[in-house]
Amino acid sequence: MKIRVALVLAFSLLTAALRAEKISLVGATVINPADGKVLPNATIVINGDKIERVSMGKQDAATLGKQVSCVGKFILPGYIDTHVHFFQSADLF
């Protein structure tokens, strides 16, 4: 029984580590509305659920993990979808 528990625990730790994939958003224009800075050709490296770094220019491909091309795209922090219908009723359709 102890071996089964240990195997289940080890497997769950392994799958958690595999889920923490490093993803890089490459070539985007990053806009920081707090200070008005615009970073063209930026790379955002995300490791698991944390932003590891934001940098400009060419990066070493070996440190980027899975790369997503964002050339021609803009990235801005803090947007959320606030679209709701509080008082919509079924007879409107």
Q: What is the mean pLDDT of each run of 10 residues along the chain (93 residues)?
A: 63 60 93 90 92 88 90 87 71 55
Cα distance between residue 93 and residue 89, in whole Å: 8
Kindly report the pTM of this predicted structure.
Answer: 0.63
Cα distance between residue 77 and residue 91, in whole Å: 38
- Domain made up of 21-78: CATH architecture: Roll (2.30)
What contacts 91, CB < 8 A, 6 or more positions away?
A: none
